[in-house]
Amino acid sequence: MNAHLGRATAVVAVSAITLTLTACGGAEDADGRPGSGKGHAIKVGLLLPENQTARYEKFDKPLIEKEVAALTRGKGEVVYANAKQDAATQNSQVDTMITNKVDVLIIDAVDAKAIAGAVKRAKDAGIPVVAYDRLAEGPIDAYTSFDNEDVGKVQGKALLDALGDKAKDGQIVMMNGSVTDPNAKLFKSGAHFVLDGKVNIGKEYDTVEWKPENANTNMAAALSALGKSKIVGVYSANDGMAGGIITALKAAGLSTLPPVTGQDAELAGVQRIVAGEQFMTVYKPYAPEAAAAAEMAVALAQGEKIDGVINQMVDSPTTKGVPSVLIPGVALTKANVKSTVVDDGVYTVDEICTDKYRAACEEIGLK
Ligand code: BGC
């Protein structure tokens, strides 16, 4: 799977992704669908997997809506559904969208395998499918995501750097994401690639549904099994779970918290980094990912080629050579809050440096 993923960092820099599709004028086909090369009146079905992780409602959805509007001169409509972590719900959401005759689907699957049948039903109904962020199985037409194995490597490397000599003595806990998410598998294998042989892994969990409360329970179990003084660091696959883990560490009465990793550059995660409670996150710029999805979706709905957008081909367990756009993520620590999320306009300094974090912000020169 993902035989070509490793090349992504070298191949593409975020700024190099130029999204070039321009909307064109013209009339619709008789059935109301857009004809080839006539950009407008497109109905894009957008299906996101959950709403506990902040990114989906705060970034992915509005960014995709904005891009579709821009590409269709305001005539493209996005029909949205969030599956709230339920694979069966997402399957029926796809069926509803097929019934409602969307022109194209953008799917971020709750469960990459369980969605395959719905992807096939969409294809059979003549609706192209773009897999968003997670590589859905079934006959997808295109895919966009980050270089997810590399995200795991970035997390693992940052944790080793933070541990320094402590890597030899203590143990770490690994909190991976949901087994239904192929990304979680890639984050995990990237992290293991870097960490194995360099540090003892005392306990490791695949966290059910990526839920912060499940990560909290797992961490509490690891603390009692290993002993709080023996844990020198925690690999957390994302920021939501890092929040649950840090709560468990504090509840165990640790005065100095071990380094904890994360991903998503959620506002709460960035604030914990500023305050020194979380060591790092992976900043994944969602704007280029959303732009790639929108551009491919609008082009496919119009029967146009997407060759000019893609930067590599990716294999899924069911589909070989899926035209894809993969984007690199970068480590975000106290040292580069300004040059990443602030300079990119993701958060203002005021949003990060609320009263609670003002002193910590001043200490790192964030103003
Ligand atoms: C995404 C992460 C997210 C996680 C939980 C993954 O597939 O790539 O950004 O934190 O799912 O929703």
What's the pLDDT at 318? 98
What number does the ligand 1 atom closest to the CA of 133 have? 8
State which of 148, 178, 210 you would mutate to test the pocket of ligand 1, scoring each by most atoms of that ligand within 8 A of its C-beta.
210
CB-based contacts of 30-35 (< 8 A; 24+ apart in sequence): 33/101, 33/103, 33/301, 34/103, 34/301, 34/302, 35/302, 35/303
Cα 135 to ligand 1 centroid, rounded to whole Å: 12
In order of 55, 153, 200, 210, the CA distances from 52 in angstroms are 9, 25, 31, 9
Tell me if 149 sits within 8 A of 5, measured CB to CB: yes
What's the pLDDT at 30? 39
Contacts of 131 (CB under 8 A, 6+ apart): 107, 108, 109, 140, 142, 143, 144, 145, 316, 322
Task: Pull the structure tokens for residue 269.
Answer: 């995660």
Q: What is the DSSP string of 77-89?
A: EEEEEE-TT-HHH
Sign of CA dihedral 194, 199, 177, 262: negative
Predicted structure pTM score:
0.89
Residue 354 CB neighbours (<10 A): 11
In which residue ranges of the chain is pLDDT below 50?
Answer: 1-39
Q: What is the pLDDT of residues 230-282, one digit of tens each?
A: 999 999 999 999 999 999 999 999 989 999 999 999 999 999 999 999 999 99
Q: What is the pLDDT of residues 219-232, one digit of tens each?
A: 999 999 999 999 99
Cα 48 to ligand 1 centroid, rounded to whole Å: 11
Please give the angle made by the CA atoms of 339, 345 and 347, to the nearest 5 degrees: 90
Could you give the CA distance from residue 287 to residue 161 in angstroms, rounded to a whole number? Answer: 29
Cα 341 to ligand 1 centroid, rounded to whole Å: 18
Tell me if 259 sits within 8 A of 236, measured CB to CB: no
